Amino acid sequence: MERALRFSTLVSFFVLFAGACEQGDLPAPPEDQEPFPYVSEHISSEAREYQRDAVALAAPLLETVEDWQKYRAYWGEELDSIARERQKRLRYRLRAARLGGVPVFWVTPTSFDPGNEKRLLIYIHGGGYTVTNAQQNAWMAAEVATQLMLRAVAIDFSNAPESPYPSALDETVAVYRALLKDYEPENLLVMGDSAGGGLSLATVLRARDEGLRMPAAVALLSPWADISKIGDSYYIHEGVDAYVSYDINLKQDAGVYVGEHDPKHPYISPVYADYTLGFPPSLFICGTRDLFLSNCARMQEALLLAGRPVELVVLEGMDHGLGMVPRLPDGDKTFRFAAEYFARQLGLELVSGQE
């Protein structure tokens, strides 16, 4: 139990920490917490242990900007440690810079092929629009960029509540616009996870609407495509997804990000966009236990109805976090699928020699 709960606290950005900032402790799980009745035998033994013992804990009420800042600081040290660990394993280089007036991190893998100088992966990180930053999450971009042998740029957009919608979107579009000065759009790839997946979709949509040429392809890892609690999996997978819950944490993130704006605006919830106006080839990856499974299914449906090329990969036994949780081997295939998809779109060879 202790080891599995350690996995959970290392990687979950949303569990209860009320009082922890003062006391330095995480709360204990409820004594009467029931284990999940079934965990897929298809996933790794580490993931099975994680799912069996992971506990969904009630999130604190974060009422002030200071509360949110404490929340981020509480997780910051551990997230920084994970980032250092992944950087050591993957051996990528990070360089801070600014594009379009927005802070970014250039990610250069040791596998970088100079022949890919004019190709680039744009990465937009997750974290509920409220926590984590590009430096902490750049390892996800490195996982895919390493296989593709090209550089990535991770956008360090501003978090809510200090900077609610549309600040993050303004910033990601500004970076995309700046990149178009040096890169042909057919050589640009966009990847995002969770909230970053929703923001990736919104970025491409707004770029399209502003008359900018769209990237070659996008890959979304369990994207937050409808910020409201609409969709079967928000209800069916509540308490089954071991990583995240709408009611006990995402609702609060959504509130401070959206503010008084319409949550069904396509730039906030891209599932409501008009894709007949155009959209690049898209890949969606999620799991059978994923709280965001309906987000992916609805996005696939919307794109298919609009006649747009789209692929959906649903991984057995995986919840919202399993594909992205560091220190669990199950994430490897998630990044592999994304890299293979991008390689097909650009006609690239992967570092392993497989296309």
Average pLDDT score over the chain: 88
> Are the C-beta atoms of 71 and 17 separated by less than 8 Å?
yes
For residue 141 the two structure tokens come to 């971009």
- For residue 7, the model assigns a pLDDT of 37
- Tell me which amino acid residue 248 is: I
User: What global pTM score does this model have?
Assistant: 0.90
> Are the C-beta atoms of 204 and 273 separated by less than 8 Å?
no
Query: What is the side-by-side order of every strand in the sheet holding 120-124?
Result: 93-99, 102-108, 151-155, 120-124, 188-193, 217-221, 282-287, 310-315
- For residue 38, the model assigns a pLDDT of 77
% of residues, the chain, pLDDT over 90: 70
| Measured CA angle at 277 (ends 272, 282), to 5 deg | 70
- For residue 3, the model assigns a pLDDT of 34
Segments of the chain with pLDDT less than 70: 1-37, 53-59, 322-324, 326, 352-355
- Looking only at the bridges linking them, the beta strands covering 93-99 and 120-124 are unpaired
- For residue 163, the model assigns a pLDDT of 98
Q: Phi, psi (5° rounding) for residue 255?
A: -60, -45
- For residue 184, the model assigns a pLDDT of 98
> Are the C-beta atoms of 128 and 249 separated by less than 8 Å?
yes
2 exposure class (CB count in 10 Å sphere: 0-12, 13-18, 19+)? exposed
- For residue 36, the model assigns a pLDDT of 59
> Are the C-beta atoms of 166 and 267 separated by less than 8 Å?
yes
Class of domain 92-346 as given by CATH: alpha beta
What is the biggest distance separating any 2 CA atoms in the chain, rounded to whole angstroms? 58
Residue 174 to residue 203: CA distance in whole angstroms = 9
- For residue 352, the model assigns a pLDDT of 65
Q: Per-residue pLDDT tens for 104-130? A: 999 999 999 999 999 999 999 999 999
- For residue 44, the model assigns a pLDDT of 85
Dihedral Cα 63, 65, 71, 73, nearest 10 deg: -160
- Looking from the CA of 44 toward its CB, the CA atoms found within 13 Å total 13
Q: Which residues of 322-335 are buried (b: 16+ CB within 10 A; e: fewer)?
A: bbbbbebebbeebb
> Are the C-beta atoms of 200 and 213 separated by less than 8 Å?
no
305 exposure class (CB count in 10 Å sphere: 0-12, 13-18, 19+)? exposed
Q: Per-residue pLDDT tens for 10-68? A: 334 333 343 444 444 433 444 444 555 678 888 888 888 777 766 554 567 888 999 99
> Are the C-beta atoms of 15 and 57 separated by less than 8 Å?
yes
170 exposure class (CB count in 10 Å sphere: 0-12, 13-18, 19+)? middle
The answer to whether the Cα torsion of 187, 273, 253, 318 is positive or negative is negative
> Are the C-beta atoms of 320 and 291 separated by less than 8 Å?
yes
> Are the C-beta atoms of 52 and 4 separated by less than 8 Å?
yes
Strand partners, 283: 219, 311
